[in-house]
Amino acid sequence: MLLLQNARIASENSPVLLEADVLIVEGKIQDIGNNLAIPEGARVIDARGRILMPAMFDAHVHFRAPGFEAKETITTGSEAAINGGITGVVMMPNTRPAIDSAMVVATVLDNAKHRSRIPIYTSGCVTKDRQGKELAEIDGMRELGVKMLTDDGDTTNDPAVLLRAMQYATEFGMFFASHCEVPELAGPRALNEGVMSYRLGIKGSPACAEEIIIDRDIRLAHAAGAHVHIQHVSSKLGMETIRWWKSRGDVKVTAEVAPHHLLFTEEHIGNYDTNYKMNPPLRTQADCDALLEGLIEGVLDLIATDHAPHTPYEKAQDFISAPNGITGLDTALVSLYHYFVEPAKFGWDVVVKRYSAEPRRLMGLPVAAIEVGQKAECLLFDTEAETTFTREFMKSKSHNTPFLDQTLKGRVDLVILGTEILLER
Amino acid sequence: MARKDLLDIASLHREEIELLLDQSTSFKKLFTRSVNKVPALGGKSVLMLFYEASTRTHSSFEVAAKRLSADVTNFDIAHSSITKGESVRETVETLQAMRTDYIVVRHGRSGLPGLIARQTKASVINAGDGAHEHPTQALLDAFTIKEKFPDPRGKKVLIIGDILHSRVARSTSTLLQKLGVEVAYLGPGSLVPKYGPATIRRFTDYQAAMAWSPDVVYLLRVQMERQDVQFFPSLREYHRLYGITNDRLAEIQQRGLYIMHPGPVNRGVELCDAVMDYERSLITNQVENGIVIRMAVLDWLTPGGDAPRAEPTFGRSYERSC
Ligand SMILES: [Zn+2]
């Protein structure tokens, strides 16, 4: 039994915070109200000044298992999630072996059960070994609970293959998540084609490489009657393409944006800083502004980190050789608060809706609202405190993030999942 | 204002550039009086680390170092057992053990000399990295131009060719602009990107570029090997559109324009044979000036200044991932 007193409660429905006590009994929210009586044996937490909100859910993470456990494991990845106030994640299947069959899905989920304190979901590949040629065994994966099909890390390049997959898998109630990139245009380097690629003398990837596939994959979904989810949108025109398709209303399309695409531009790469090397690449301030607008408006349905850990050894190479990606689970919520909520770019309702409710809806999961009768799946956030992202603080095995050793406003103080307190600071 | 490394032109201050150009002038005077060597770097060692072949730049640095009485070692990359994988990392570890004072590095990867510089106490000189920078080329170009125009402010230099892939274009135009020279680019639309520096005029038509009235026409070497896709249809068409043909040479002669080229020249592509005999062609001056510029750079840098940072290590290429 847990009584949180005088918390300010955030919900997806209103930017206004409701101040109340919340009583949690046996992992469920039993009562919400002012001056609730303290039941015998209850632990009381003074939450005055702090914000109580549903725990976050990240629909795009790379936990690198199986195959790349030097970068991350299911244990370190899920602890990083908890550290950041996240109580559920969807793993991407670009592992080795790739998560492309019932057998690999079973292994991964079995591992997750024993090695994680939060539920782990996995997506499955569209094609065998992500080669873009033969369809993966889709129904076998569905039986084990896979809902999202994606060759993330690469686009399923042959439109005929993707169209057939969509026609096939939609019958099983599955949806497609698209990593959008024309490989012939993008080349192997993750750097926006523009001022910075010119300055650094590295071949860039133009935004149109992404925009073409955004449009193509929505068209394919339209033709197949499928649901397509556009991953990590990074460009203004990409966002506008999604907006246009959504406005037609005759195709199911959702989309996500990563915090780094809202926060950073190509200029941050500076003198070849590989912590800013990611795919899709960081683009311009105009793109950031458009993405923020799209997020608030709901063109971009959800926030997902694309948590992509790499070892220091790999990231310390020259810019061209270094792998793409940035970690995000430890830092996402605090950075969203520091850069957007605190300066009043958007309210807590946007955070809850885009990073807690919508990702769960995408996965067909119940939304974790702070309401009587709901399962307790929530966190306490201190807006007055600060977080310094030292190596020791972060639980991810890798530290390839520009936030390393940075101090931001806000701190995740408490994470509750059912009857368990997963984190308490 | 001691500097350990020379990695780019972008971070050089104007005073530093003036200092280097003045020092080069003194060296040049010295050598026209037929002095063979000066003892400036006596007992110091210069290591040449050329991952890309370059007879011209390589021998220019070597002559420069020897004239300063330094010991020169060539790291024989082509014949060493190291494979592409771990090569740079292992090489840098080896160099660190050899306690060399200067490392002259050329590499196909943009930014790589900077990575090496952060790991070693030796002074690192970028002798060309990918499509990024080639600072000593820029300095010798500026020096050559200043010999003809002692006050180059307001003069106009038209750089013709593959701007997109050219480290020479980046470094030289940056440096010339720092000296007050106006710079314009001319080349095929696919090789003169629209997102280049806004302060540089961009032409795709030869006549329009000549109407801008340049004082110097700077031809870049067409580097087919850097092009992973086709950027223009044929060398013949390139020559016809952007090359110095016999007809165009006549116009250039009439206007008295100077011609420069970083070499080696593709004859019949960037320029016709007759250009080589044109009295205002500065191509051989550039080669000569390369030596004194590189002497000035070696003489100017201070090895050991910065403590090496431990963290960057680098090695094999990883597959695409996110
Ligand atoms: Zn992706």
Q: What is the DSSP string of B71-98?
A: EEEE--TTTSS--TTTHHHHHHHHHHHH
Mean of pLDDT values over B174-198: 96
Is the confidence at residue B91, as pLDDT, over 90? no
Q: Which of A188-192, B93-97, B157-161, B305-309 has the lowest mean pLDDT?
A: B305-309
Domain containing residue B126: CATH number? 3.40.50.1370
Q: What is the pLDDT of residue B312?
A: 36
Whole-number average pLDDT of chain B = 89
Considering only the beta carbons, identify the residue of A194, A271, A279 that sits closest to B195. Answer: A194
What chain B residue is nearest to A327 in terms of C-alpha separation? B322
Run of H or E residues at A121? strand A120-122
How far does the CA of residue B234 sit from the closest CA of chain A (Å)? 21
Q: Which residues of A touch B (CB under 8 A)?
A: 62, 94, 152-154, 179, 187-188, 190, 193-195, 197-203, 271-272, 278-279, 306, 308, 312-314, 316-325
- A268 labelled as ligand-binding? no
pLDDT, tens digit (0-9, with 9 covering 90-100), for A384-414:
999 999 999 999 999 999 999 999 999 999 9
Directed axis angle between helix A236-248 and helix A285-297, to 10°? 30
Is the confidence at residue B310, as pLDDT, over 50? no
Q: Which listed residue (A100, A217, A306, A330) is catalytic?
A: A306
Tell me the sheet residues that pair with B202. Answer: B185
Q: What is the ipTM of this complex?
A: 0.89
Count of CA atoms in the C-beta half-sphere (13 A) of B12: 30
Does residue A306 carry a catalytic annotation? yes
What percent of chain B stands above pLDDT 90? 75
What chain A residue is nearest to B191 in terms of C-alpha separation? A198
Q: In chain B, which residues have their Cβ closer than 8 Å to the Cβ of A327?
A: none
Confidence of residue B308 (pLDDT cuts 50, 70, 90): very low
CATH 2.30.40.10 in chain A, residue ranges: 2-52+372-424
Domain contains B45: yes
User: Judging by DSSP bridges, how do beta strands B201-203 and B216-219 pair with one another?
Assistant: unpaired
Whether A318 contacts A288, CB under 8 Å: no
Q: What is the pLDDT of residue B2?
A: 83
Q: Scan for tokens 């002559």, then name that residue.
A: B63
Q: Is the peptide bond before A97 cis (omega within 30 degrees of 0)?
A: yes
B132 touches chain A (CB under 8 A): yes
Whether A45 contacts A5, CB under 8 Å: yes
- E strands, B65-164, in order: 71-74, 102-107, 123-129, 156-160
**Same domain for B152 and B267:** yes
pLDDT, tens digit (0-9, with 9 covering 90-100), for A161-203:
999 999 999 999 999 999 999 999 987 778 999 999 999 999 9
Q: What's the alpha-carbon Rg for chain B, to the nearest Å?
A: 20
B230 touches chain A (CB under 8 A): no
**Same domain for B128 and B211:** no
Q: Between residues B233 and A5, which one has the greater pLDDT?
A: A5
Q: What is the DSSP string of A279-306?
A: SSPP--HHHHHHHHHHHHHTSS-EE---
CATH 3.20.20.140 in chain A, residue ranges: 55-363
What chain A residue is nearest to B321 in terms of C-alpha separation? A153
Is the confidence at residue B75, as pLDDT, over 90? no
CATH of A55-363, one of 3.20.20.140, 3.30.200.20, 3.40.50.720, 1.20.1250.20: 3.20.20.140
Is the confidence at residue B83, as pLDDT, over 80? no
Domain contains B311: no
What chain A residue is nearest to B119 in terms of C-alpha separation? A316
Q: Between residues A133 and B81, which one has the greater pLDDT?
A: A133
Is the confidence at residue B317, as pLDDT, over 60? no
Q: What six digits make up the tokens of A312?
A: 């220091």
Burial label for B157, CB within 10 Å (0-12, 13-18, 19+), is buried
Whether B206 contacts B158, CB under 8 Å: no
* A46: three-class secondary structure by DSSP: strand
User: Domain limits at B280?
Assistant: 135-285
Q: Which of A4-13, B90-99, B285-294 has the lowest mean pLDDT?
A: B90-99
Number of domains within chain B:
2
Domain contains B187: yes
Confidence of residue B1 (pLDDT cuts 50, 70, 90): low
pLDDT, tens digit (0-9, with 9 covering 90-100), for B225-264:
666 678 998 899 999 999 999 999 999 999 999 999 999 9
B34 touches chain A (CB under 8 A): no
Q: Is the peptide bond before B264 cis (omega within 30 degrees of 0)?
A: yes
Q: In chain A, which residues have their Cβ closer than 8 Å to the Cβ of B313?
A: 313, 316-317
Q: From ligand 1's centre to the CA of A53, what distance in Å? A: 28
| CB–CB contact A312 B311 (8 Å) | yes
- B150 labelled as ligand-binding? no
Q: What six digits make up the tokens of B152?
A: 């180059």
Is the confidence at residue B210, as pLDDT, over 90? yes
Is the confidence at residue B313, as pLDDT, over 60? no
CA distance A33 to A43: 17
| CB–CB contact B114 A322 (8 Å) | no
Whole-number average pLDDT of chain A = 97
In the CATH hierarchy, which top-level class contains the domain A2-52+372-424? mainly beta
Q: Is the peptide bond before B150 cis (omega within 30 degrees of 0)?
A: no
Neighbouring residues of the ion ligand 1, judged by CB less than 5 Å: A 152, 179; B 322
What percent of chain A stands above pLDDT 90? 97
CA distance B198 to B184: 10
Q: What is the pLDDT of residue B229?
A: 74
**Same domain for B219 and B175:** yes
Domain contains B322: no
Domain contains B76: yes
Nearest to B309 by CA among B48, B44, B4, B100: B4
pLDDT, tens digit (0-9, with 9 covering 90-100), for B5-59:
999 999 999 999 999 999 999 999 988 776 788 999 999 999 999 988 888 999 9
User: Judging by DSSP bridges, how do beta strands A14-25 and A56-61 pair with one another?
Assistant: unpaired
pLDDT, tens digit (0-9, with 9 covering 90-100), for A313-343:
899 888 998 999 999 999 999 999 999 999 9
CA distance A420 to A116: 13
